[in-house]
Amino acid sequence: MAANIERLIKEIKSLSPTEKIELARRLDEEAIFSNQSWYWTPEWQAAEKEADEDIAAGRVHRFKNVNDALKFLHEQAE
């Protein structure tokens, strides 16, 4: 595997600047699988940030089972 990496590095170094830009562009496009692109939308990332902030601030609840979680949610809705 290391030999393959070294070969790839050598090939990349031999590319022209234009080819390197094209390679970078294509790698960037392929880095996100189409079935996972929703995760990287601004809306989803904003929700992830909000969730991280809630966790950091201790605004989370842990439940031993689903029934306890549902009971909590019903109580909050009242």
- Give the span between the Cα atoms of 41 and 33, in whole angstroms: 13
Q: What is the pLDDT of residue 3?
A: 78
pTM of the model: 0.49
- The series of mean pLDDT values per 10 residues for the chain, 78 residues long, is 84 92 81 78 94 96 96 94
Within 13 Å and on the Cβ side, how many CA atoms surround 48? 8
Among 26, 29, 8, which Cα is nearest to 18's? 26
CB neighbourhood size of 23 (10 A): 13
